[in-house]
């Protein structure tokens, strides 16, 4: 979980650093901070959501393969229990939200003049 949050934070931070000039121009033209927060959120959360869905599918397939390959195992693995997959997905979405929050706030508080001089 810590590694995934660090990766999400790194991607969000990279996106904010890459688009500092764009954010400064938007602020100079009158964009609200809420608009910038939504922009950072949507651009970073789309790939995270795609990765989450793909990861859940791979996990479901891997659990089925392990159960069929080993046969009887000492720990009960119920691959059809949706609460396990839902709880993991909710936990990762909360972690992603918290990891995106700091770079998004940094983008919303950028000084337009400094952002235009950045590059």
List the chain pLDDT tens, one digit each, 119 residues: 778 778 877 877 787 778 777 888 888 888 888 888 888 888 888 888 888 899 889 988 888 887 778 776 666 666 677 888 888 888 888 888 887 888 888 878 878 787 777 65
Q: What angle do CA 87, 43, 107 make, to 5 degrees?
A: 105
- In this predicted structure, what is the pLDDT of residue 54? 93
In contact, 98 and 9? CB cutoff 8 Å: no
- In this predicted structure, what is the pLDDT of residue 73? 66
Task: Indicate yes or no: pTM above 0.75.
Answer: no
- In this predicted structure, what is the pLDDT of residue 58? 92
Q: How far apart are alpha carbons 11 and 67 in whole angstroms?
A: 35
Q: How far apart are alpha carbons 34 and 40 in whole angstroms?
A: 10
Q: How far apart are alpha carbons 51 and 39 in whole angstroms?
A: 19
Q: In b/e form, how buried is each residue of 35-64, taking b as 16+ CB within 10 angstroms?
A: ebbebbeeebbeebeeebeeeeeeeeeebe
In contact, 27 and 43? CB cutoff 8 Å: no
- In this predicted structure, what is the pLDDT of residue 113? 80
């Amino acid at each position: 979980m810590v590694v995934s949050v660090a990766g999400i934070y790194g991607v969000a931070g990279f996106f904010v650093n890459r688009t500092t000039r764009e954010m400064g121009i938007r602020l100079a033209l009158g964009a609200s901070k809420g608009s910038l927060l939504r922009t950072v959120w949507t651009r970073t959360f789309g790939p995270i959501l795609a990765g989450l869905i793909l990861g859940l599918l791979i996990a479901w397939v891997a659990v089925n393969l392990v159960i069929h390959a080993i046969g009887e195992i000492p720990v009960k693995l119920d691959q059809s229990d949706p609460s396990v997959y839902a709880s993991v997905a909710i936990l990762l979405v909360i972690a992603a939200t918290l990891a995106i929050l700091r770079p998004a706030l940094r983008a919303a508080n950028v000084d337009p003049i400094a952002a235009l001089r950045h590059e």
